[in-house]
Amino acid sequence: MFIPLVDSLRCIAGHEETWLVASIERSDERDIRRGFLGCPICFAEYPIRDGIAYFGVDPAEPAIAAMPARVDEEDAVRLAAALDLTDPRMVAVLFGPWGAYAPIMRGFSPAHLLLVNPPASIASGDGVSIVRTNSVAPLARGSVDGVALDSGASPQMLESLAGSLRAGGRLAGPIALPLPEAAAELARDDRIWVAEQSEAGGATSPLISLRRAR
């Protein structure tokens, strides 16, 4: 877990938002490898093991998300372009199977990637952070720059993921998944749509192309 990302994490207990306090037992440069996150309001504690933060999930439980049938560089480039991940200060959230693209994306995108419930084979570190949760995404509202959604998420998870996106941030999701209410569609192909989180009455970015490279 990348230490600066702790500021964007929140308790999942359902009370008002508050910062979490990190207790670090072992770290590797700026990544927490072992420790826990504590809530100063309800005193809940969330363990960090092997760089992964567990929110209401037993670290011994197996990951649910399966690896996509195909994970290649072309799709990783398209996802990074759809989310406009061009700045090292950016943070993007990849939910479920989308997390499988993170190792490839880190090869050409400077943005930090926060994976929520990725496949078990994906490791934390080198610009990739991981949280596992059974209920909602443990993120502050308006705290990230891009979000990739998956149709396997519950309505509560989808709401919390979309709510973590700042105004003007990019969303991507499979075409079978309806757009969140606060999102304005930018583009669509036969597999995914891309949208922008818009403020009431706000303008959106120009349309972008999702044509495949030849």
* 38-86 residue pLDDT tens: 999 999 999 999 999 999 999 988 888 878 878 989 999 999 999 999 9
* 89-127 residue pLDDT tens: 999 999 999 999 999 999 999 999 999 999 999 999 999
| Predicted confidence (pLDDT) at residue 199 exceeds the cutoff of 70 | no
Q: What is the pLDDT of residue 187?
A: 93
| Predicted confidence (pLDDT) at residue 205 exceeds the cutoff of 60 | no
What CA–CA distance (Å, rounded) separates 175 from 124? 29
Q: What is the pLDDT of residue 54?
A: 97
Residues of the chain with CATH 3.40.50.150: 73-197
* 157-193 residue pLDDT tens: 999 999 999 999 999 999 999 988 888 999 999 999 9
DSSP conformational letter for 77: H
The sheet carrying 52-55 orders its strands as: 21-28, 31-38, 45-49, 52-55, 128-133, 112-116, 91-95, 144-148, 165-174, 192-197, 183-188
Could you say which of 3.40.50.150, 3.90.1150.10, 3.40.190.10, 3.40.50.300 is the CATH number of the domain covering 73-197? 3.40.50.150
Can you spell out the DSSP letters for 134-172?
SSS--B-TT-EEEEE--TTS-HHHHHHHHHTEEEEEEEE
